[in-house]
Amino acid sequence: MKRHFIAELALFALTLATLYSFVAVTSSCIAEQSKQRIANPIQSAKSSCMSKRSGSRPSCWTEGDWLVYCQRVQCKVQKGSAE
């Protein structure tokens, strides 16, 4: 029974060490990302628009996206005002 207690204690210590490491690394990564955003806001904004999902946000749209959007909205407004 004592052998199991020592093994459980060792496993618990290992689990705590792993959890602590995870929190420490995550905290340092978040701090580094914050520094990079402050140091270079333009690059930070560009990198947040890389994925297709992020590209659907207006802050990630290109000039061409805005032109198409405005054309479509104008067409809908004109149809609505004709009625």
Does position 81 have pLDDT exceeding 70, yes or no?
no
SS3 of 40, please? Answer: coil
Burial level of 37, CB count in 10 A (0-12/13-18/19+)? middle
pLDDT in tens, 1-45: 566 888 899 999 999 999 999 988 888 888 888 888 788 877 777
Query: 43 CB contacts (<8 Å, ≥6 apart)?
Result: 36
Where exactly are the structural domains of the chain?
Answer: 1-47, 56-83
User: pTM of the predicted model, to two decimals?
Assistant: 0.42
Contact present, 69 and 75 (Cβ < 8 Å)? no
Rg from Cα positions in the chain? 26
